[in-house]
Chain A
Amino acid sequence: MRALDWAIVVAYLTYVIWDGIRMTKHSGSKEGYFLANRSLPWWAVGLSVMATQLSAITLVGTTGQAYSDGMRFIQFYYGLPFAMIILCVTVVPFFHRAQVFTAYEYLEKRFDVKVRTLTSFFFLISRGLGVGTIISAPSIVLSIVFGWNLIATIFAIGLSTTIYTVFGGVQAVTWTDVKQMFIIFFGMGVCLIVILWSFPPGVTLSDGLHLAGALGKLNTVDTSFNLQEKYTIWSGLIGGLFLMLGYFGCDQSQVQRFLTAKSVDEGRTSLLMSAFLKIPMQFFILLIGVLVFVFYQFNAPPIVFNAAEVAKAEKDSRFQAIQQNFAQAHAERRDAAVRFSTESPELRQAYIDADKKFNESRKEAVAFIRDTSDKGFNDVNYVFPTFVLENMPMGVIGLLIAAIFAAAMSSIAAELNALATATTIDFYRRLYAPDATDGHYVAVGRLSTFVWGIFACIVAIFASNLGSLIEVVNKFGSFFYGSLLGVFVLAFVVRRARARGAFFGLLFGIASVWIASYYTNIEFLWFNVIGCVVTVIAGYLISLTVTDGPVGSETDLEA
């Protein structure tokens, strides 16, 4: 990185912290700090919803995924528009009319304080650990690719976000999200142009896409019904639907976004913005990953993208032989790609064969690294940052690093703000100090944000040393969403549901997902369906055993 790149990154960090802190003046009251006085326009809330979902590891991992596996991942989002419609009909008007601060506060109105506290507790645990991995994952990648100090990178991302979230509250989160979304897409747009510019003379975008298509990198619809296949149209439409319902409807980090909207209509419109834009947006990000793949048809790619692992492996003479085979396989594939693009479409098969040989030589290198260094080695997240560092011009590198920082910070800020809100409203106000002043709750909210920010940075440092922890935390998130969604289904749909049913139904739901994850090979998207269905059935059956207790109804909430 040159001075100009550093200047862009430092300017971005300085601007975003200043921009967030200046929102302090709007955050003096409890409503202002946690809900922006329910005054934000739909487009700002909509961009914030999308920015919260788009973390750095989504940005970096998705492009890497497209490079290695093609566009199949886009099917993950096919259930999202339908989830948004369901949420617009149910959750948005319910939460707005109930005038709640958190999603879990609503559950006390419908069930009791135990259900509210349990769901909020699961949210705090899963998201508290989750935000640590949101910081650690890009920090690990950036520190390895750019040679930065890992702990310094963790604190640069984590603390800078904590500072502006502490002061500006949800106003800072939303308005910085809006600007961060523009930085992300401006950076990615420039990246796309530079990649297209880098193609050899005579090779067009259409030629590049034909190269990727010939190798199956452009598959966007897989109609096979296989529970062990991660991305199919069915896992996206059904499993993805449940995941998105759980994430956008029951996770405070997203619920808090649309609670800040001016009205029910503006809240609905903000969610429908994602319904219209999310799939095209993911297509754009995946397309960049595919075009990076095409770029490396004509330019020599690293044998693996994690330079630290290559440096370790290169000490072994056996790896040098593998590198020679790899270089030869790349040269053959490059010639086959040029001939297929510029001479005759009939040379397609020769190109596919050359790619097969290339993949075999790369697999050999990956297997060598797994045997000699790291059994869980995964190169996907290193593809895009390495590509940026090695091939982007001065200035664009800084812009793209700022975009990766922006993606990380937009998610972290929303998570910290949601964690602080749940801590303050669901625990501190509900259980310890129900009658304190607004200023007192804002002070507690600020302190909670700071404590969660430091906690997240510490988790990030430990997560970076324990690779499997990241997997555990991510799995725990998917255990949580389906089961929590089940509690909300009981609340909204099942009139016979009672507090005891919701409480134990949630525990049964989470237990069922644990069992499914350890004793079956079912892919994680389906866990959301399992957790939700088990929670609803168990909750309903347990509720049948309860003869007394308050009966919650929609009328309680529409008052």
Chain B
Amino acid sequence: MKESEYKKEVAGRSDEFWRRVYLAVIAVTFVVVTALWAFSRYFSS
């Protein structure tokens, strides 16, 4: 393994990358809960 690849493996992905992933998790959760709410409203009316 080249030294640069080794450093990348140890360091892992950047904090900026993970911040975006966490925001995506929050956004998807919001969308899923909203979709569930809409689902129950639609079939309960």
Contacts and interface: CB of A to CB of B under 8 A. Distances in A.
Real binding pair: yes
Q: Which secondary structure characterizes the binding site on chain A?
A: helix
B40 A221 contact: yes
B26 A221 contact: no
B44 A214 contact: yes
A212 interface: yes
The B contact surface, by secondary structure, is helix
Residue in B12, B13, B22, B32 with the greatest tally of chain A CB atoms within 10 Å: B22
B43 A213 contact: yes
A272 B42 CA distance: 30
A127 interface: no
Contacts of B33: 78, 220-221, 233, 279
Contacts of A283: 36
Contacts of B32: 279-280
Contacts of A74: 36
Contacts of B12: 263-265
Interface in A449-491: none
A209 B38 CA distance: 13
Given A263-B12, A264-B12, A220 B37 contact: yes
Contact of A220 (B13, B29, B40, B45): B40
Interface stretch (A36-44, A80-88, A132-140, A508-516): A80-88
B1 to A, nearest CB: 14
Given A263-B12, A265-B13, A272-B21, A71 B29 contact: no
A219 interface: yes
A160 B18 CA distance: 40
Contacts of B44: 213-214, 216, 218-219
Contact of A82 (B9, B29, B39, B45): B29
| Size range of the chain B interface in the assembly | 20 to 34
Interface string B7-45: 001001100001001100110110011001101101111
Interface in A384-431: none
Nearest to A72: B40
A272 B25 contact: yes
A380 interface: no
Given A88-B18, A88-B22, A268-B18, A279 B29 contact: yes
A179 interface: no
A212 B44 CA distance: 8
A275 interface: yes
A61 to B, nearest CB: 20
Nearest to B37: A221
A210 interface: yes
B21 to A, nearest CB: 7
A81 B26 contact: yes
Contact of B39 (A84, A214, A220, A264): A220
Contacts of B9: 263
Contacts of B43: 206, 209-210, 212-213, 218
A276 interface: yes
A218 B26 contact: no
Contacts of A233: 33
A351 to B, nearest CB: 13
Contact of B29 (A206, A210, A275): A275
B23 to A, nearest CB: 9
A89 B25 CA distance: 13
A233 B29 CA distance: 13
Contacts of B28: 81, 276
Contacts of B25: 81, 84-85, 272, 275-276
B43 to A, nearest CB: 3
B36 to A, nearest CB: 4
A272 B19 CA distance: 13
B36 A213 contact: no
Interface string A269-284: 0001001100110010
Contacts of A85: 22, 25-26
A13 B13 CA distance: 40
B24 to A, nearest CB: 9
Query: Which of A78, A206, A213, A216 has the most chain B CB atoms inside 10 A of its CB?
Result: A213
Given A88-B22, A275-B29, A279-B29, 6 more contacts: A81-B25, A88-B18, A213-B40, A213-B42, A219-B40, A280-B32
10 contacts: A78-B29, A89-B18, A206-B43, A213-B45, A220-B33, A220-B37, A265-B12, A275-B25, A279-B29, A279-B36
Interface of B: 9, 12-13, 18, 21-22, 25-26, 28-29, 32-33, 36-37, 39-40, 42-45
